[in-house]
Structure 1
Amino acid sequence: MAIPLGNLHNGLLVHRSGEGGPAVVFLPGAGLVGLDFLNVQALVSEFTTSVLYDRAGTGWSASADLPRTAEEVAVELREVLSAAAAEGPYVLVGHSIGGFYARRYAQLFPDEVAGMVLLDPGHEDIFDYLPARAAEMNEQMKQSTNDMPDLTDEQVEASRAALRNLYAGWPEDVLGALVEYHLRAWRTGIREASNLETDVHEELRRGGKVPEVPTVVLSAGGQNLFWAKFVAEDVLVEALAGLARMHADMAGPRGEHRVLDGASHQYLTVEQPDAVVRAVRDVVELAR
């Protein structure tokens, strides 16, 4: 599949636009790629340098064995930013598992991080914030995901229509390629996240403190329809409240926690781009 946007640096897709600093770097969640963030990346490029990319093994970047460690991802990102001539320190915008990778980068290279925006991130101590049934629920969800069969032709067509509607604001050459990628490579995110609760969680626990930089943590406040398949409504409400407490703690003494009412975990940047860009702008201005 042709690259719809961006350039390859050492086999990795990178798209940079805008001028000034600090540069903002988007780290996608598992199952997503850089182009999923094109709408917010373009808006951020209006007031500072803005970079999106695909990690090795995802999107239009070179293949790699998945899963990988958070340190491998962080070191790779550092090389990407150097090749793209994006000067640090950076504001890292990490979504979901991308939040782990952003925090690991900050542990390893604290002087290169000016701020962070964490989009509905996970945390290595997440089960401390969730109801007692959460661990059991989590195992059920993982098994259900791993056992998912290939999509039928009817499911592919329905998903294609839904994705084209979701990304309707994207340029047409990007839109078609992005939709077909997600239809073809939807298991990639499952493989990438398969070591999250073992290797990645332990890396963050052993990695030391994350530097105290300006930080905004955004929580997706909408109903989690996937979780709702496995637990009763009262447990789901308790779990979402626990995640909000976790995100407030992650913001830390110099940070701020904001809840995006109605936003979903996977697509909060598509559903509420203005709120995401506002958080990025706030952190950029504090970092400056």
Structure 2
Amino acid sequence: MHGTWWTAGIAAAAAGGAVWQRRCERREAHAHHRPGHMVRVGDASLHVVAEGEGQPTVVIASGIGGSHLEWEQVAAGLRQVARVVRYDRPGFAFSPYVRGDRRPEAVATVLREVLAAERIPPPYLLLGHSLGALHVRAYAALFPQEVAGAVLVDPAHEDIGELAWARPVGRVAGWAFRVAALLGPVGMARVFGRMLTRADARRVADARAPHTAAFLQAAGALTHRTVGGWRGLAAEYAGLVDTHIRVGDLATARGFPAVPVTVISAGLQPPNRFERVGWTLLRTELHRRIAALGPYGRHVVAEHSGHMVPLDEPEIVVDEVRAMHQRLRMK
């Protein structure tokens, strides 16, 4: 008898949590304005924001779990001089989750199809943050004739995937996000999402800055506390180490086009000791290696930024992209 009551109680709690989750997601989605439009690419419906005029077009690739949201300040500073394109990968912000290939080659190909659907011709100035920088490098390796230049913001590097601890840590992270995604539909997406938003708040220089606070609120509502957001995060974390390795293979096989490259590194150390190991390796050695990929390599340190440089010091990103854009227009 006790077992029956226990089972019934769990079922009732799950049903109540599912109703709560769906209602909250609908309410929060309606409370946020969608600035762009939807583009169909294969099985995915992707939210795209295209603003401004001017060639070459600046195409933005976000970091893991990222979306158009963290680029508001950067886009505002660029759209007076260039066409700026941002998009949300499946599961994040306004792009519904759909199962799909998250390998860097596939992500780069989808981005190319988005640009073709938008009738935006190459060449492009690619702007990528963190994981998005790996997607940018995959795009440059696969379609070098379409790339005019690249600005990579606190980028990931393929050598991180070769470290002894990378694969076991990646497996644990992937497993944790998959469990969270499975529990998400019964209301746990909202519980875990609040934790994720608090973690993001610790990774920025000033969570109380108006545009950063607005980002944290919107990202929480549209990604962190949604079932689709957790499914998207689970998919990206599950393949994170392999993404690093595959980009390394692409770099070895195809190289990088002879175009300008600027790397912007975060100057502030991460909040926990574990992240600092990778941070030190990236900023002291690997970022310089990335900058050396192109014939006009440049390495800049955003001294007052954590990993989220587009939020902490968007003006540095704007200045570097504008400088490269001007140089490309004068060629």
TM interval, shorter chain, is 0.7 to 0.9
**Contact 2:127–2:151 (CA under 8 A) maintained in structure 1:** yes
Of residues 145-154 and 256-265 in structure 1, the stretch that sits farther from structure 2 once superposed is 145-154
Q: 1:34, CA displacement in angstroms?
A: 1.3
SS in 2 for 1:63: coil
- Residues 225/175 of structure 1: CA separation in 2 closer, same or farther (3 Å cut): closer
CA radius of gyration, larger in: 2
Matched, 1:264 2:310: no
Q: 1:144, CA displacement in angstroms?
A: 6.0
Q: 1:106, CA displacement in angstroms?
A: 0.8
Larger helix percent: 2
SS in 2 for 1:47: coil
Of residues 71-80 and 3-12 in structure 1, the stretch that sits farther from structure 2 once superposed is 3-12
Q: 1:141, CA displacement in angstroms?
A: 7.3
- Residues 153/208 of structure 1: CA separation in 2 closer, same or farther (3 Å cut): closer
Q: Residue by residue, what CA displacement relative to the aligned partner does 1:188-245 show, whole Å, maximum 9, x if unpaired?
A: 334313212225522541451110211100111211114x1x48xxxx4x65342121
Q: Aligned residue pairs: how many? A: 274
Uncovered stretches (5+) of structure 2, i.e. residues with no partner: 1-28, 181-187
Matched, 1:279 2:320: yes
- Partners of 1:159 and 1:240 in 2: CA distance: 21
- Partners of 2:279 and 2:97 in 1: CA distance: 35
- Residues 101/167 of structure 1: CA separation in 2 closer, same or farther (3 Å cut): farther
Matched, 1:6 2:36: yes
Q: Residue by residue, what CA displacement relative to the aligned partner does 1:83-102 show, whole Å, maximum 9, x if unpaired?
A: 22322211110111111111
Q: 1:64, CA displacement in angstroms?
A: 2.2
Q: 1:249, CA displacement in angstroms?
A: 1.0
Equivalence for 1:131: none
Q: 1:113, CA displacement in angstroms?
A: 0.5
Q: 1:41, CA displacement in angstroms?
A: 1.0
Of residues 269-278 and 64-73 in structure 1, the stretch that sits farther from structure 2 once superposed is 64-73
Q: 1:56, CA displacement in angstroms?
A: 2.9
Point out 4+ residue stretches in structure 1 off by more than 4 angstroms: 148-155, 157-160, 162-167, 174-177
Equivalence for 2:21: none
* Matched residue type, 1:261: E
Match of 2:164 among 131, 135, 150: 135
**Contact 1:67–1:192 (CA under 8 A) maintained in structure 2:** no
- Partners of 1:21 and 1:90 in 2: CA distance: 8
Uncovered stretches (5+) of structure 1, i.e. residues with no partner: 129-133
- Partners of 1:279 and 1:96 in 2: CA distance: 17
- Partners of 2:37 and 2:190 in 1: CA distance: 34
SS in 1 for 2:114: helix
- Partners of 1:36 and 1:124 in 2: CA distance: 24
Match of 1:213 among 251, 256, 259: 259
- Partners of 2:174 and 2:110 in 1: CA distance: 28
* Matched residue type, 2:63: G
**Contact 1:100–1:204 (CA under 8 A) maintained in structure 2:** no
- Partners of 1:154 and 1:101 in 2: CA distance: 27
Q: 1:287, CA displacement in angstroms?
A: 1.8
Normalization by structure 2: what TM-score?
A: 0.72
1:142-221 to structure 2, matched below 5 A, reads 143=172, 146-147=175-176, 156=194, 159=197, 168-169=210-211, 177-185=218-226, 187=230, 188-206=232-250, 207-221=253-267
Give percent identity, aligned residues only: 31
- Partners of 1:254 and 1:50 in 2: CA distance: 23
Match of 2:102 among 68, 72, 87: 68
**Contact 1:12–1:62 (CA under 8 A) maintained in structure 2:** yes
Q: Residue by residue, what CA displacement relative to the aligned partner does 1:238-271 show, whole Å, maximum 9, x if unpaired?
A: 6534212111110113210111113111x21111
- Partners of 1:45 and 1:191 in 2: CA distance: 32
- Residues 140/103 of structure 1: CA separation in 2 closer, same or farther (3 Å cut): closer
Matched, 1:51 2:85: yes
- Partners of 1:42 and 1:195 in 2: CA distance: 32
**Contact 2:61–2:136 (CA under 8 A) maintained in structure 1:** yes
SS in 2 for 1:85: coil
Normalization by structure 1: what TM-score?
A: 0.82
